[in-house]
Chain A
């Protein structure tokens, strides 16, 4: 069958099917099981209303438990077995991970990423949002800064590969060095600092996101508070730090945590730029090394990543719900 036709058919069955499910199940509930008429009409309406949310939530609950909860549990169980999956070894995979220097490098690098990237991109996003707010060409500047968001991580990595290229005719860093008479240098091989050169790519991509959200939050601040500060003689820096920032703290936390979650998932940049060489490994790309070879270890790394992400995610949800109220 033609793949296009197949795709259309899938959409049709999927969307149409779920639509039919909602309409029909609702009808079944209202007309057949608990009809809103007859001697028990009011009791029936109450019962139907009790059941209805579950009816509507059921497809989501089933899909989520099938595609999220089951894989998490399955992965955890798999991580307790050996390489070929036929022998139970308890937490053997975890203890050998902790003993492995590669894992520790990846872990420490990931901590660096998780601290540095969200901090810098949120800071830059906030500053840019404030600075461009009153400018006539502010929107153009914002659009340009936002643009990297539309590029995939691998695409962004390819662009930055040119920036970091050793050839002074290609790479801007080495072009500058060459103009000063210095020898070309591969920044991706600079021990320790190469991590920051990789992080720069994600910051470049993520700053636009932080900027857009924070810019909207800054605009939502009541004008009166700022006017009052101006009348009281506050200078622009004081207004920004003491009036505006405190009022958008909630949004800053959401942006920060969202970026942190993203950072802990990103593997494409390291994979495409260095392949984890030169001590730039991070946990997700470290996991990739074991996938389809030693699934026991790969799932163990996956569980470790999940354990790290979960508290950040819970914080993120709590904060987001607070914002909504």
Chain B
């Protein structure tokens, strides 16, 4: 009896899991709210993959992965194809192994395009078809920048577009506490010159302007690379930035050394950083912003990407207790416009099937972006996505920075070869912050780059 009972319950469990997979309770009921439901309807009308199954892998796990599963439910609802998503913390290694040993998924969500470039050259990725090549150019803000970022040589040596960007972070941000600025009478700086003057003003008033934290375990140093990249965009042309990323402009070129020193103007100036440069080098980037919320504040400003609010102390509300401003350009370099540094995930096809093509089209539709935006923690450069969907003003303002940018450049260290972008550049910045001269650091990184055979 017990045996049959447990047998029944297993069947029941299977039935429950199957029904939750097929019936898909949709998080946002269709037809309600400001979503672009029409896009979903027309997509559903033209695509039918009933009974098909799709494997998607990515680096997001936990709650973040659930947000993606919520989205995929709409794809299933529209086309009948089942989507199985599996996220892994070691996605970067897994996908390389899968590309060599077999077992690639249908679609892979790369957290940064550098790795996709490697795999594309080995023939593991499938380029989008002609109809989709210009998709990002027409539909994304600063779309050409996005398209360029997804264009690499395939195994045939010719350039193709490999997938589309889905989900972005904005990096050119300075976070501050409005209440403290008001109390001290500080204005939001509009230029780099003003920002530096403000930092000096804060020191003169007896405060400390910056909290900088480079600590991140084995990845220690990466926050400083964001500083340097933002400085590159503000002191050099976009062409120079791109040439720097591909090493056509050498890492020890005076242009790059200057950008490093521009970062040093903030990080190394006596009294500018809470605890001094050596504390900056070892303070964890997650703990670093805490100083802004102390009383009296340990620092007034913190430069970090749009994801940082999840590491703010509990009870701090982004938008009311803490605000951000755009890391300003130099008044002396007006021709460079308002560049935005960011990062983003690239969705690429790894298995050429009809259903995967349909899935990419779905990811390109405004409704897919809106469903992710509505769940928070997601920014989209998609022009047709309704900004009202954003769940907070902060998110909306971030989205606006993205859609009003004159140019967008990707986090350079994510595009450089792994040894440089996720190693030599990081450790070089730690060395610089703890006292090595910029030229020597840049020379060492370049030597390392030359050593890549």
Contact = CB atoms under 8 A, between A and B. Distances in A.
Interface in A85-116: 89, 92, 96, 100
Nearest to A281: B427
A184 B418 CA distance: 35
A275 interface: yes
Given A83-B452, A100-B451, A274 B220 contact: yes
Interface in B404-453: 417-419, 423, 426-427, 430-431, 434, 451-453
B451 A96 contact: yes
Contact of B419 (A96, A275, A278, A290): A290
A21 B431 CA distance: 58
Interface string B350-364: 000000000000000
Interface string A288-305: 111011101000000000
Contacts of A278: 430, 434
A276 B451 contact: no
Interface in A22-50: none
A272 interface: yes
The 5 closest A-B pairs by CB, nearest first: A293-B418, A275-B218, A275-B220, A277-B430, A82-B453
B275 interface: yes
B453 A188 contact: no
Given A166-B282, A186-B279, A189-B281, A277 B418 contact: no
25 contacts: A83-B452, A92-B453, A96-B451, A166-B275, A166-B282, A166-B283, A184-B275, A184-B279, A186-B279, A188-B282, A189-B278, A272-B218, A274-B220, A275-B219, A276-B218, A276-B427, A277-B220, A277-B427, A278-B434, A288-B218, A289-B423, A290-B419, A292-B93, A294-B418, A296-B453
A294 B452 contact: yes
Contact of B279 (A166, A289, A296): A166
Contact of A271 (B218, B275, B282, B417): B218
A274 B282 CA distance: 8
A290 B423 CA distance: 9
Interface string A241-278: 00000000000000000000000000000011011111
A281 B220 CA distance: 13
Given A275-B217, A277-B281, A294-B452, 9 more contacts: A166-B282, A271-B218, A272-B218, A274-B220, A275-B427, A290-B419, A293-B418, A294-B419, A296-B453
Q: Tell me whether chain A's interface is mostly helix, strand or loop, or mixed.
A: loop
B221 interface: yes
Contacts of B451: 96, 100
Contacts of B240: none
B218 A293 contact: no
A54 to B, nearest CB: 32
Contact of A272 (B92, B217, B426, B431): B217
Contacts of B417: 293
B432 to A, nearest CB: 12
Nearest to B90: A292
Interface residues of B, number: 27
Interface of A: 82-83, 89, 92, 96, 100, 166, 184, 186, 188-189, 271-272, 274-278, 288-290, 292-294, 296
B96 interface: yes
Nearest to A293: B418
Contacts of A100: 451
Contacts of B423: 289
B377 to A, nearest CB: 27
A83 B453 contact: yes
Contacts of B218: 271-272, 275-276, 288
Nearest to A183: B276
Contacts of B219: 275
A97 to B, nearest CB: 10
A219 B184 CA distance: 72
A186 B218 CA distance: 17
B419 A293 contact: yes
Contacts of B93: 292
A299 to B, nearest CB: 14
Contact of B96 (A186, A289, A292): A292
User: Which of A100, A278, A290 has the most chain B CB within a 10 Å cutoff?
Assistant: A278
B400 to A, nearest CB: 36
A109 to B, nearest CB: 15
Nearest to A186: B282
B425 to A, nearest CB: 12
Contacts of A89: 453
A8 B179 CA distance: 59
Contacts of A277: 220-221, 281, 427, 430-431
B275 to A, nearest CB: 7
B147 to A, nearest CB: 26
A205 B427 CA distance: 28
Interface string B270-288: 0000010011011100000
Contacts of A275: 216-221, 426-427
A127 B317 CA distance: 56
Contacts of B431: 277
